Structures are given as structure tokens and as C-alpha cells.
A and B are shown apart, each in its own frame.
Chain A
Amino acid sequence: MNIDEPTSLRAEVLARLLLVQSTAAHLPDEAAIVAFTCRGLEMVPGVRRAWSQSDPPPAEPLSPNLVGFELRFGGTEFGAVCLELYCPNEFATYSPHVQNLLFVVALMLEERRQRRMMEEHQRQLELRIQERTRQLSEEKERLQVTLNSIGDGVITTNAHGNVVEMNPIAQELTGWSLEEARGRPLEEVFVLADERQFRTSLAPGARTQPPSTLEYADSSQLMARHGKRYAVSTSRSTMTDRDGTPLGTVLVFHDMTERLRLIEQTQRAERLDAIGILAGGIAHDFNNLLSGIFGYLGLARELATDNEQAAALDEATGVFERARELTRQLLTFSKGGSPVRSAIDLRKLLTDCSRFALSGSNVSLNLRIAPNLTSVAADANQLWRVIDNLIRNAVQAMPQGGAISLEADLVELGKPHHPALTPGQYAKITVKDNGPGIPPEILPRVFDPFFTTKEHGTGLGLATAYSVVRKHEGHIDVASSPEEGTRFDIYLPLAMTNTASVVPPKSLREHNGKGRALVLDDEPYLCTLFTRYLSRMGYRVTAVQSGEEAMAAFDGAIAERDPITVALLDLTIPGGMGGKEVIARIRPRMPSLVAIAASGYSEDPVMAKPADFHFTASLGKPFSIAELATILDTFVK
């Protein structure tokens, strides 16, 4: 392009005005535009000075040398541009062009005003968006924290039933991470084994009514990705927008596994307690009956003159021994027979017991006892019986041979492991075999009394073990699977409550007595039997069936100056004063009285430590005349 020279002054002025118009549009703000324009107008012939003002120009010119031009577009006023003229006539030629220029400038100013308003509106909008975004972010953060904090699993889906969000509990229970699960169908991530699947895909445009948006399932089996199963209670609700259009679903599920386990254990404990009370009552009465039979069998054996009769009675006595053992187990299982705890060397007990129980078997033993677990407070006899029973069961479960693991550890239970266990230190004894396991349908019943799968089993072994552990304020758990065999975990509290030792058994002796003896038993036939025992030893016997009668007999004998020297006192007299109360009252007046406690509850503390209860000795029913004679011969001077 060639640049030509200006052709005339008029053309040059018009070109200047056009250039002002073009260039002003390029300037950044209204003030710059107006100032630029004013300075440009000062180059118009006839104009000495140009300036702007915010007020509109006066209606009439103040003087011929002073003119004002309104800056106005539409209804918007932008003030005025004023010109001071040194030659109004020369300016008059250009006045219409200046008028046009200032109209265009007013248009620019309006455009800038509009642009500024839009920019301000945009800024306000952005501020609102920022604020709303911040609020949403905080809300999302709060929701996320809430989701992550709650103890239930939560999964949300979109309207197509695909996973959108999962909290950590849901990820743990399902075995899916959020990254893996996101976008997958809910049915693939949340798999129920025994319930119909939730219908999670919502038809577009479907409407739901609020009352029907919740679906509950109290007990379902969730099959986690890693194969584990959880008992879960679930609820599902549909999320909708304001118009009722489904947006997705929220699935909330609670892991009921532990709760159900505790409920089951509590129910089992209650059931066994009830059975124990029943069995205890029956066993006690049965034991008394056995005592009578046993006693009279013994007497008959002593009176027998015929060898054949004697052999038959010996045979009957042998069979009777088995009945007596059964009754003892029943009594141990029942509510009676509190353990007599002492500090026992657990290492020695487990070593001796396992060696004894495994002798002659083709089962190997892996014994491990934590070094920091030296002793526990337990009834050695009862604990022996429990461990012996568990090991023998394991051996019987592996007729082809196998391995048994017997382990003991010191554990700290921080939170309730079982309703019956309080937090604290426990000895945990584990007996584990690698046998075929216990079928799942049988497992819940293994501790039930009289439940057995063995041809000649009594069904009291595990029931007794359960009872013994419970009476030690402990707990026993069983877990079993075909792959891993059967495992029993026993928890025994370490707190010491008693440090008594077990009285060693004595060899049987005969006894010749004299003087007066008292028999207290609520069963008439036992009164008769024990009277005959003592009479045969040479005593003059008074038999009573209540504590009150016993006290009267003692008082009468003292008054007659022919005191009772030997007393055989039954501990349990239904509805009245028993032997324990009687001896507590009479002992201060008769310090030399030989008082024998008799009871069917062999684990009763009185039986284990009779001296602590003012007795001389104790005898567990049923007992033979020889056993009574041995005790009396020991203590009667």
C-alpha cells in the first residue's frame, strides 16, 4: 500500500475525526476514550480547548465561544464534552462531524458500560459459583467423613444400578475397592448367597413413592469377593430428584456376623444352663438313689456267704461304678460343683494330660506353651478332665492317625469377646486336630448334653467341658471345617480366686468306733443305710432328716452328758438348714466333734476344703462303708 499525502485541510480534519473514532474504540476504559477524544478535538480547526464534564451541557450556549455536546445513548447519560472556540465560524464547518463523532463515542461508552456490567455480573456469578462450589465441596467432605465414619457398609449406585460410591466398611465386607467396583453393576459387587438380589436398575422415567423406597432384609449371607461370608442385614432406598425421577440407590448393610455369634453363644449358654439345672436336679436325686443301692450292694456283699452270690454282687458293683461315673459327670455339668481353683502349673498339666490321653494312639502332638504363661487359677481335676476330653475326641476323629496341636498363650481381651467374658488377661488354650471336621449342621449342638455321634458316647464330654470352663468364668469356642479340622479355644481368666490344693486320696481301712453318732440326710433310705454303716462300726446312731432336728439331737445329747462324737451331715437339705449351717452353729460348742460333710456335688468347695467350713473331712456320695470307715479311722481318736 502506498501512503498518499493529505489532499486538503477539510479532508485531513475528517480523517483525524475518523482516526479518533477508530482509535478510541481501542482504548481500555471510558476515561481514556473521553480524554483521547477531547485531545483529538483540540486539533479541530477553531477549537482552543476541549474537556469533559459529568453534567449535561446547558440548554443554551453560554457564549458563542463555548459550546457543549451531550454524551448520551438511549436513556443513559454520560455527561458532556465542552469546547472553547477561538474561531466559532471555522469550527462551524466541522460541528456536525464532531456531533457524529461524539454520538459514536457515547455509543462506545454505552458499550463499555454494558461490558462492565456484564463483567461485574460475570464476576458476581463466578463468586457465587466459587462459593457454591466451596459449599458443595465442604458438604461432600462432610458426607464423605460421615460415610467413612459410620460402622455400616454403604454403597450408592446410579440409575442404571452401577456402583458410584462405597465407604471403607463396604469395601472391607465386599472385598472390592472403590476403584475396582466403580461403574460395575451392584449385583456383581454385592452378592447375596441366600436371598433374592435387589433389583437395582431403575427404568428411565420411573417414579417411586416414598413409602416403597425402602426394602429390608434382616438376615442375608453376603458372599465377599475373597470367599468369606458375612451375615448382613440390609436396607435399600431409592434416591430421586424433586420430580421423583430415580437418580440411583443407596444400599446400607450391617455386618451381623459377630452379633449373631454372640446371640448364638448367649442362647447356647442359657440353654445349657437350663439343661444343667434340670440335669443337676435329676442327677442329685439319682445320685442319692445310687447311694442307697451302692450301700446296700456293699452290705449284701459283706453278708454274702455263697461265692456265686458274691461274684454276682461284685459284677453288679462293677456296673454300678459306671453309673456312678455317669452321675458324677452329670453333676459336674450341672449348676452344682463350683471349681476349687488353685494356682496350677499349666505346662505340667497340659504335658501330663496330653501324654496320658494320647498314650497308645497313632496321633502326633505339637505342644506349645507361651513362656510368659506359667500358671493359671483353675480346678486341676476339672481342667484335666476338659483337656483329656478334647484330646480324646480329637483322637477318635482321626482313626487313621493325624496330628493334634495343643497350644497355650497369654492373651489380653480388650473388648467383650463373649457376653460372659470381661476384659482382662486370659489363658487361651487351643486344641486343634487335622481331622475331617464336624459337619456344619452338627456344630451348633456339640456342647449340648446327651448329644453324641458316637455309638457308645454319653454325650456329656463336651457338655461337661463347656460347663467346667463356664464355671471358671471362662469361655470355650469351637470352629470346624473339612479343610482345617476342628479347633477348640478355651479362655480361662488369670485372676486368682482360690489357692487350695487337692486332697490326695487315701487307701481304704477298717474302723471300730464307739459312742454316739448323728446322721443327717433328707432321704430316709440313706438315713437308714448310713445308720447301718455306723452301727456296724460300733456307734450308737441317731438319724434325722432336717437341720433343726440335728440341732435338737446335739442339744439333747449334751444335756444328757452323752455327747455325739461323730456326725455325718448331708450338705443339701431341700427347703431347710443343711449340714453346712448345722456345723457352723454347733462347732463352737463341740470343737472335738468329728464332722463328715457328705454330698453328691463332689466339686462343691466344702467338699474340697471341708476344714474351711468347720468340717473334719468330706465324702462324696455315693460312698461305700469302707470309704466311710477309712475317713473315720483317720480322724477319730
Chain B
Amino acid sequence: MKDGKRLVDLGFVSARVPAGSHICQIYSDSVERDHALLNFLSSGLRAGEKTACFWADFDENSARDWFAAEQIAFDDERASGHLSTSCAESVYFENGHFAPERVLELLVAFHEAAIHAGHPGARVIGEMSPRIREVEGGARLFEYESRVNAVIRQRPVTAVCQYDARAFDGATIMDVLSVHPMMVIHGNVVQNPFFTPPEQFAYR
């Protein structure tokens, strides 16, 4: 355990990571994406964590069936507030505008709600919409991702950001990597040598 933080099981990789890790997953097909998403959520629910996901085109009925096979009552978990699911764009964009401050406040509020409800931790997994390149404020994506690192030092929410390699160009993917301290590659979670700490990011 690093820095005395508890280690958490991400559900879709074998390694355990410190709670409050900010991880990037670059995927190239929806099966890979869904596998990570569902297992991340179910392992969080089993651990008693407050769990959230932002998905773009996920089939809710399929998810319900998947959770049922895992002995998890999808609707009950949602009704109790242990699990929340939202459309990614509705979380990231408000009135067609991307404001990192608002999303970060949501992150803080999510963690506070978890602590308040007595959860041992909180985790969130979200798919970044390719529309980020088009919406107002979309250029602040990397600033946002970098500031997430600062926020979760105080609010140890374990966060996985999913990026579709088919939807973003190679340079953007490299830039995405540079703001995530950890990344998932070939089914393993590794420390990202390209990571630029938030203090340095603003100066690049």
C-alpha cells in the first residue's frame, strides 16, 4: 500500500491499485470497454463502495442481465444510491458547454456523499465523448484531467477514464496519457512514464 492508502480491486485487471488512482484506458472496441466498465462497477459494489459510471451508448437491459448473472440486483443498487449511471455527455457537458470546474465539483460532491453514506470508498468510470473536440470549453480537456489528479489527492475517488482509440487521433491519445498517472495496457495497469504532474502540466 502506497502512502497508507488502501488498495482496491479494479475488477478488470489482476493488479490492485491504491484508492484514489486516476487511470486511463485506451480501448479499441466496445467489448473491451464494456468488460472493463461492468467489472469495475461490480467489484466496487461488492467492496461496498459508492459507484458511478458515465456511459455513452451502453445497453441498460444488457447491463441488467449481466449484473443478474453476477448476483447483483442492478435496479436495487441504483435505487439505494450505491450505483449511479448517467449519460456521459449529460455529465460532461451542460448546455453544450464543458466546464472543468463544474465536473470537478461533481466529483467532490460524489466523494462527500460516499463518506456521508458510510461507504468505505468511491469509484467512478467514465467514457469521454469524442464530441469534446467540438463543444465550447473542449480545449480544456487536458486541464480538466490534470486537475482531477489534484482533486483526488484530497478526495480519493478511484477514477478510470475510457478513451476510444478509434475516435481520437494518435497525438491526442498521447496527450491523454500524459495527464493520467496510470494506464491500462494489454490488460495490465501500469504506471505511466509520460505522466506530467498537475503542477507541471500548466507550464507545458
Interface 0/1 of B57-78, CB less than 8 Å to A: 0000000000000000000000
Q: Are A23 and B28 in contact (CB under 8 A)?
A: no
Is chain A's interface secondary structure helix, strand, loop, or mixed overall?
helix
Which of A37-45, A183-191, A320-328, A448-456 interfaces with chain B?
A: A37-45
Query: How far does the alpha carbon of A211 sit from the alpha carbon of B166 in the complex, in Å?
Result: 64
Which has the most chain B C-beta neighbours within 10 Å: A12, A19, A34?
Answer: A19
Interface status of B191 (Cβ within 8 A of chain A): yes
Interface size on A, residues (CB 8 A): 28
Q: What is the minimal beta-carbon distance from A11 to any residue of chain B, in angstroms?
A: 9
Interface size on B, residues (CB 8 A): 26
Interface status of A59 (Cβ within 8 A of chain B): no
Interface status of B116 (Cβ within 8 A of chain A): no
Which has the most chain B C-beta neighbours within 10 Å: A31, A34, A39?
Answer: A39
Q: Are B171 and A36 in contact (CB under 8 A)?
A: yes
Q: Are B193 and A19 in contact (CB under 8 A)?
A: yes
Interface 0/1 of B170-204, CB less than 8 Å to A: 11011101100011011001111110000000000
Is chain B's interface secondary structure helix, strand, loop, or mixed overall?
mixed
Interface status of A392 (Cβ within 8 A of chain B): no
Q: What is the minimal beta-carbon distance from B54 to any residue of chain A, in angstroms?
A: 22
Neighbour of B193 across the interface among A12, A28, A31, A39, CB < 8 A:
A12
Q: Are A38 and B171 in contact (CB under 8 A)?
A: yes
Interface status of A96 (Cβ within 8 A of chain B): no
* A17, closest chain B residue (CB): B193
Q: Are B165 and A26 in contact (CB under 8 A)?
A: yes
Q: What is the minimal beta-carbon distance from B122 to any residue of chain A, in angstroms?
A: 21
Q: Are B186 and A22 in contact (CB under 8 A)?
A: yes
Which of A1-9, A311-319, A537-545 interfaces with chain B?
A: A1-9
Query: How far does the alpha carbon of A33 sit from the alpha carbon of B26 in the complex, in Å?
Result: 13
Q: Which of chain A's residues have a CB closer than 8 A to the CB of B170?
A: 24, 27, 31-39
Q: Which of chain A's residues have a CB closer than 8 A to the CB of B17?
A: 3
Interface status of B46 (Cβ within 8 A of chain A): no
Interface status of A15 (Cβ within 8 A of chain B): yes
Interface status of A268 (Cβ within 8 A of chain B): no
Query: How far does the alpha carbon of A19 sit from the alpha carbon of B177 in the complex, in Å?
Result: 10
Q: Are A6 and B165 in contact (CB under 8 A)?
A: no
Interface status of B15 (Cβ within 8 A of chain A): yes
Q: Are A23 and B26 in contact (CB under 8 A)?
A: yes
Interface status of B101 (Cβ within 8 A of chain A): no
Neighbour of B186 across the interface among A26, A34, A38, A39, CB < 8 A:
A26
Interface status of A182 (Cβ within 8 A of chain B): no
Q: Are A32 and B165 in contact (CB under 8 A)?
A: yes
Q: Are B185 and A15 in contact (CB under 8 A)?
A: no
Given A23-B177, A27-B170, A31-B170, the answer on whether A3 and B16 have CB atoms closer than 8 Å is no
Q: What is the minimal beta-carbon distance from A45 to any residue of chain B, in angstroms?
A: 13
Interface status of A16 (Cβ within 8 A of chain B): yes
Neighbour of B165 across the interface among A1, A3, A27, CB < 8 A:
A27
Interface 0/1 of B19-55, CB less than 8 Å to A: 0000000101000000000000000000000000000
Query: How far does the alpha carbon of A516 sit from the alpha carbon of B191 in the complex, in Å?
Result: 151
Q: Are B16 and A1 in contact (CB under 8 A)?
A: yes
Q: Are B185 and A26 in contact (CB under 8 A)?
A: yes
Q: Are B174 and A2 in contact (CB under 8 A)?
A: no
* A6, closest chain B residue (CB): B193
Which has the most chain A C-beta neighbours within 10 Å: B26, B170, B185?
Answer: B170
Q: Are B174 and A27 in contact (CB under 8 A)?
A: no
Q: Are B182 and A36 in contact (CB under 8 A)?
A: no
Q: Are A43 and B169 in contact (CB under 8 A)?
A: no
Q: Are B175 and A39 in contact (CB under 8 A)?
A: yes
Neighbour of B194 across the interface among A19, A24, A31, A35, CB < 8 A:
A19
Query: How far does the alpha carbon of A164 sit from the alpha carbon of B169 in the complex, in Å?
Result: 57
Q: What is the minimal beta-carbon distance from A89 to any residue of chain B, in angstroms?
A: 22
Query: How far does the alpha carbon of A136 sit from the alpha carbon of B130 in the complex, in Å?
Result: 44
Q: Which of chain A's residues have a CB closer than 8 A to the CB of B175?
A: 39
Q: Are B193 and A15 in contact (CB under 8 A)?
A: yes
Which has the most chain A C-beta neighbours within 10 Å: B15, B26, B189, B193?
Answer: B193
**Known contacts A6-B193, A13-B193, then 19 further A-B pairs from the complex at CB < 8 Å, ordered by chain A residue:** A1-B15, A1-B189, A22-B186, A23-B185, A26-B26, A27-B165, A28-B28, A28-B165, A28-B166, A32-B169, A35-B171, A36-B170, A36-B171, A37-B170, A38-B170, A38-B171, A39-B170, A40-B174, A40-B194
Closest 10 CB pairs of A and B: A35-B170, A36-B170, A39-B174, A32-B170, A15-B193, A1-B15, A39-B171, A16-B193, A3-B191, A35-B171
Interchain residue pairs with CB less than 8 A apart (22): A1-B15, A3-B182, A19-B177, A19-B192, A20-B174, A22-B185, A26-B186, A27-B28, A27-B165, A27-B170, A31-B169, A31-B170, A32-B165, A34-B170, A35-B169, A35-B171, A35-B174, A36-B171, A38-B170, A39-B171, A40-B194, A43-B194
Residues of B within 8 A of A (CB): 2, 15-17, 26, 28, 165-166, 169-171, 173-175, 177-178, 182-183, 185-186, 189-194
Residues of A within 8 A of B (CB): 1-4, 6, 12-13, 15-16, 19-20, 22-24, 26-28, 31-40, 43
